[in-house]
C-alpha cells in the first residue's frame, strides 16, 4: 500500500521521539506531567453546554446543515464582531461557519492554491500553514518570527521570485507558539503589502479572547482596507473551552468566503446545527464573565510559571495573551529538543521543543498553561528543585 506523493511531502512528526521517551517513563511507573498540549482543561461554560443540550434535543437540528450555516449563527458572529471589535460584517455574505479553524485553514489552501503556487507561512506557526500548502502540491515559504522583530515577519525580506508566486499569507496574533501580540501598525503594513502583491491574507484569530493585564487583542478586520485583502478565521476552541465542539467561523472578504463555500459544498456538509446554536450562546454577553474567569486562571498560572522559570535562570517576558509561554533554551544545550529531553529526564515534566513549530522556533521551548492548577504547581516545584542553579 503506497500513500500518495502529496502525503509523503509532509515532514515526519517531530514529537515522535519525545513521545517515545514519555511512554518509556510512564511504563517505568514515573508520574509524568505534560505541559505540552494547548487544550483548555476546564469545561465549556455551563450556559453554553445548556444551550447545546437544548439544541441537541430539538429535531430541527438533526438533518443536514447547510454549508452557509444557520442565520442565527451568522448573525451572532456579526453581532459579536460589532460589539467586541467595532467591525461591521454582513451576515449574508461576510460570515460562514467552519468546522474548526483547522478545517477552514486547510480548505483555504485547497480553494486557492495550484501546484507551483506559494503560500507565505508564519514560522514558527500552526502546522497547517505549511502542511496545507504541501498537501495541495503548492510550496510553503517561511516567514521567520523572531524576538528582535517582536515576532512579526520582515515582509521586505521575502525573495522576489517566491513573492511573485505567492497567493496566500498565514498570520496569527495573538500568536501560537510565541505568545506575541501584534505591534501597533503591523496589520496596516500587511494590508498595504497584500494590496501591492495581490495576496489573500488569512488571519488566524484563535486567541483574541484569551488575554491578560487588561489587554484586548484586535481583529485584523479592524484595520482599514483589511476586508479588501483578507479573511479572518475566528475559533471558539481556546477562548471558550470548546476544542471538542469544532466551532469556528470565517469572516471578511465576501469573494474569498464564496470561494471557500464553493469548495466546501464538495467536501463536507457543514457544522452540526446544535454546535452552531451553542456557539450563538457562547458569543453572547452571557458568557463574558466565564471567559474573564478563565483568563484570570491562566494569568495566575502564567505568573506561577514565569516566576519559576526566572528562578531556574530562564528569562522570559510575560505574554499578554494566549495560553503559552515561549522561552529561550538556556545556554549549554545543543538544541531545544536536547533541553526538553533534559527537563523530562530530570523532572518528568514535558515541555515542547520550539523546532517542532518550524525552523525559526529552534532555540526556544513552549509551555502550555492548560494543565490543572495542582498539577501545574507540582510541575513548577519539580522544575525549581531539579533545575535550580
Ligand X SMILES: *Cc1c(COP(=O)(O)O)cnc(C)c1O
Binding site for ligand X (CB under 6 A): 38, 100-102, 126, 172, 176, 204, 206, 235, 237-238, 243, 248
Which is nearer to ligand X, 38 or 358 (by Cβ)? 38
What is the Cα–Cα distance from 168 to 283, expressed in whole angstroms?
28
Helices (H), 198-272: 226-229, 254-264
State the SS3 of 102-119: HHHHHHHHHHHCCCCCEE
Cα angle vertex 211, ends 207, 214, to 5°?
Answer: 150
Closest CA to 235 of 250, 224, 223: 250
Which is nearer to ligand X, 85 or 357 (by Cβ)? 357
What's the min distance (Å) between Cβ of 356 and ligand X? 13
Q: 233 near 95, Cβ under 8 Å? A: no
Which is nearer to ligand X, 217 or 387 (by Cβ)? 217
Under DSSP, the state recorded for 220 is: G
Q: 91 near 77, Cβ under 8 Å? A: yes
Q: 95 near 249, Cβ under 8 Å? A: yes
What's the min distance (Å) between Cβ of 195 and ligand X? 25
What's the min distance (Å) between Cβ of 59 and ligand X? 27
Which is nearer to ligand X, 95 or 248 (by Cβ)? 248
Which is nearer to ligand X, 68 or 102 (by Cβ)? 102
What's the min distance (Å) between Cβ of 330 and ligand X? 26
Which is nearer to ligand X, 80 or 126 (by Cβ)? 126
Cα angle vertex 197, ends 255, 207, to 5°?
Answer: 65
What's the min distance (Å) between Cβ of 202 and ligand X? 11
What's the min distance (Å) between Cβ of 1 and ligand X? 29
Which is nearer to ligand X, 208 or 253 (by Cβ)? 208
- Cis preceding-peptide flag for 31 (omega within 30 of 0): no
Which is nearer to ligand X, 74 or 382 (by Cβ)? 74
DSSP tally for the chain: helices H, then strands E: 14, 12
Residue with cell 479588501: 228
Q: Which residue has the CB atom at the shortest distance from ligand X? A: 100
DSSP string, 284-345: SGGGHHHHHHHHHHHHHHHHHHHHHHHHTT---PPPSBSSEEEEEPPTT-SSHHHHHHHHHH
What's the min distance (Å) between Cβ of 283 and ligand X? 14
What's the min distance (Å) between Cβ of 99 and ligand X? 8
What is the Cα–Cα distance from 75 to 280, expressed in whole angstroms?
9
Amino acid at each position: 500500500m503506497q500513500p500518495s506523493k502529496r502525503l509523503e511531502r509532509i515532514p515526519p512528526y517531530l514529537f515522535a521521539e519525545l513521545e517515545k521517551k514519555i511512554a518509556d517513563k510512564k511504563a517505568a511507573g514515573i508520574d509524568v506531567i505534560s505541559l505540552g498540549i494547548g487544550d483548555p482543561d476546564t469545561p465549556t461554560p455551563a450556559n453554553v453546554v445548556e444551550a447545546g443540550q437544548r439544541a441537541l434535543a430539538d429535531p430541527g437540528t438533526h438533518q443536514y446543515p447547510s454549508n452557509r450555516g444557520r442565520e442565527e449563527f451568522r448573525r451572532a458572529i456579526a453581532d459579536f464582531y460589532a460589539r467586541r471589535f467595532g467591525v461591521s460584517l454582513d451576515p449574508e455574505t461576510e460570515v460562514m461557519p467552519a468546522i474548526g479553524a483547522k478545517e477552514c485553514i486547510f480548505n483555504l489552501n485547497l480553494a486557492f492554491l495550484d501546484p507551483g503556487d506559494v503560500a507565505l507561512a508564519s514560522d514558527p506557526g500552526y502546522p497547517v500553514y505549511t502542511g496545507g500548502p504541501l498537501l495541495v502540491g503548492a510550496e510553503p515559504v517561511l516567514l521567520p518570527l523572531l524576538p528582535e522583530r517582536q515576532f512579526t515577519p520582515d515582509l521586505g525580506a521575502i525573495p522576489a521570485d517566491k513573492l511573485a508566486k505567492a497567493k496566500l499569507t498565514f498570520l496569527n496574533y495573538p500568536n501560537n507558539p510565541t505568545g506575541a501580540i501584534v505591534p501597533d501598525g503591523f496589520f496596516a503594513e500587511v494590508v498595504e503589502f497584500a494590496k501591492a502583491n495581490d495576496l489573500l491574507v488569512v488571519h488566524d484569530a484563535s486567541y483574541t479572547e484569551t488575554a491578560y493585564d487588561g489587554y484586548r487583542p484586535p481583529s485584523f478586520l479592524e484595520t482599514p482596507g483589511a476586508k479588501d485583502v483578507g479573511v479572518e478565521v475566528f475559533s471558539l476552541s481556546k477562548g471558550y473551552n470548546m476544542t471538542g465542539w469544532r466551532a469556528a467561523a470565517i469572516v471578511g472578504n465576501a469573494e474569498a468566503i464564496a470561494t471557500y463555500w464553493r469548495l466546501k459544498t464538495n467536501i463536507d456538509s457543514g457544522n452540526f446545527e446544535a454546535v452552531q446554536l451553542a456557539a450563538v450562546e457562547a458569543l453572547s454577553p452571557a458568557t463574558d464573565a466565564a471567559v474573564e474567569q478563565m483568563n484570570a486562571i491562566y494569568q495566575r498560572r502564567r505568573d506561577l510559571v514565569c516566576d519559576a522559570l526566572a528562578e531556574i535562570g530562564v528569562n522570559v517576558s510575560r505574554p499578554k495573551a494566549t495560553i503559552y509561554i515561549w522561552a529561550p533554551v538556556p545556554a549549554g544545550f545543543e538544541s531545544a529538543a536536547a533541553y526538553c529531553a533534559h527537563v523530562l529526564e530530570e523532572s518528568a515534566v514535558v515541555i515542547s521543543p520550539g523546532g517542532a513549530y518550524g525552523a525559526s522556533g529552534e532555540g526556544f521551548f513552549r509551555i502550555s498553561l492548560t494543565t490543572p492548577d495542582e498539577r501545574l504547581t507540582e510541575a513548577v516545584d519539580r522544575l525549581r528543585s531539579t533545575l535550580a542553579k
